Structure 1
Amino acid sequence: MTVGSDRPRSVDRRVRVLGKPIDGAFPRRAPEADRGSVLRVTVVGEEVLHRPCQDVVDFGTPELARLIDDMFATMYVAEGVGLAANQVGVDLRLFVYDIPDLSGVRHVGHIANPVVEDIPAAERRLADGMEGCLSVPGPFMTVARPDRAVVHGQDMHGEPLTLTGDDFFARCLQHETDHLDGRLYIDRLSGRDRKTALREMNERREEIFAERAARAEALKG
């Protein structure tokens, strides 16, 4: 997905991994991606995208670690900033992300079983921003969402995890959690805008699929 908003401020610019700032340099691609394989991205209309996903219950397993690695690799090849498990055909409440917020702070990580906290209206505002989706390849449309989000869940080991985001990152957290509830961003659009998005997707999807395939092939070299 891609997002937009506008609120500059002075902040600690260290990279946040799983919500915590880290010292020192962080690689351009999260280390998980170098261990992972690129998977096929599901497309709007496929059943796994349109129903709620199952909770992650088996933590700390090689299979879960591998899935996270594969999701990072797939997200980067598709040039996304977030990817939910059902976008690679896996029926689990899990997503990965690598996104800068409006202040330029980079947020990287994953979260299982995410739940978006209900923030009082006085502590947030509804903001319009552009969003796209790897499962709706091509179009970018304006979506209104709260400009602040707090998401509670677990890390890959089952430890409690809370992610807090503003602006871009808040939008990403909500967009990806929507995926795991069986909802795409186009489901938040008017009927007219949804049709426009789907039409643009159909016009561009083969071109975008070819570009993704070329990037995946280049990584093998």
Structure 2
Amino acid sequence: MTSPEGRVLPVVTAPAAVLSAVGDEVDPTAPEIVQLAADLVATMKVSPGCVGLAAPQVGIGVQVFAVDVTGHPKAVTTHGTFVLCNAKIVEASRWKAGREGCMSVPDLTGDVKRAGRVVVEAVLPGSGDPITVTTDAFEARALQHEIDHCAGKLFLDRVAGAHAIYQRKVYL
């Protein structure tokens, strides 16, 4: 199966309603989901510093997201660029706080406690094949962040309080 050409989509920002709604599960073999997967990757690749992008962030309330932490200084394990549908965390351990940002909350970052090791079960777009991803460190954080988007949660919903939210630094 050939992949469609990805289109760059506009990213929605909080308080857009789609960001706080639980996304629908999808049929990963549906042509519109295969196209969405390509669009998420294309949009992520043109967005500086972006290591993950979920469908709700482009205004589509479904459980599909792309991740690629390749080359990020905090990455330990990396599986390259991949897209998952209907992802669920089945194991989580080694909890640790870390700083997160988000394209849908462009002016803020926050300290979020997340698992440093996760096992995620999902389905691949296009083939519909089930997959299990076991990862750690920054890639595990990115997966949890994107799964949260699909569940209608932003990183701001996971911070310990206002003391753990920071104005994003702007580098000129």
- TM-score, with length taken from structure 1: 0.67
Which secondary structure state, in structure 1, belongs to the residue aligned with residue 149 of structure 2? helix
Deviation for aligned residue 1:129 = 1.6
Q: Where does residue 88 of structure 2 map in the other structure?
A: 115
Pick closer, same or farther for the CA change 1:159–1:128 going to 2, 3 Å: same
2:51 matched to 1:78? no
Of Structure 1 and Structure 2, the greater strand share is in: 2
Select which of 111, 128, 131 maps to 1:161. Answer: 131
- Cα distance in 1, alignment partners of residues 133 and 80 from structure 2: 10
- Report if the CA contact (8 A) 2:117-2:136 is conserved: yes
Q: Where does residue 125 of structure 1 map in the other structure?
A: 94
- Report if the CA contact (8 A) 2:55-2:63 is conserved: yes
Q: Where does residue 116 of structure 2 map in the other structure?
A: 147
Deviations 1:44-93 (A, max 9, x none): 11100001100002x32332221111111111222211000010011110
- Cα distance in 2, alignment partners of residues 35 and 193 from structure 1: 43
2:75 matched to 1:102? yes
Pick closer, same or farther for the CA change 1:193–1:36 going to 2, 3 Å: farther
Q: Give the share of equivalent positions with the same residue, in percent.
A: 36
2:161 matched to 1:191? yes
Select which of 98, 103, 124 maps to 1:134. Answer: 103
Q: CA RMSD in A?
A: 2.5
Select which of 21, 41, 49 maps to 2:11. Answer: 41
Of Structure 1 and Structure 2, the greater helix share is in: 1
Q: Where does residue 217 of structure 1 map in the other structure?
A: none
- Report if the CA contact (8 A) 2:112-2:159 is conserved: yes
| Count of paired positions | 165
Which secondary structure state, in structure 1, belongs to the residue aligned with residue 68 of structure 2? strand
Larger Rg, first or second structure (1 or 2)? 1
Unaligned runs of 5+ in 1: 1-31, 205-221
Deviation for aligned residue 1:106 = 4.8
- Report if the CA contact (8 A) 2:25-2:86 is conserved: yes
Q: Where does residue 68 of structure 1 map in the other structure?
A: 37
- Report if the CA contact (8 A) 1:165-1:173 is conserved: no
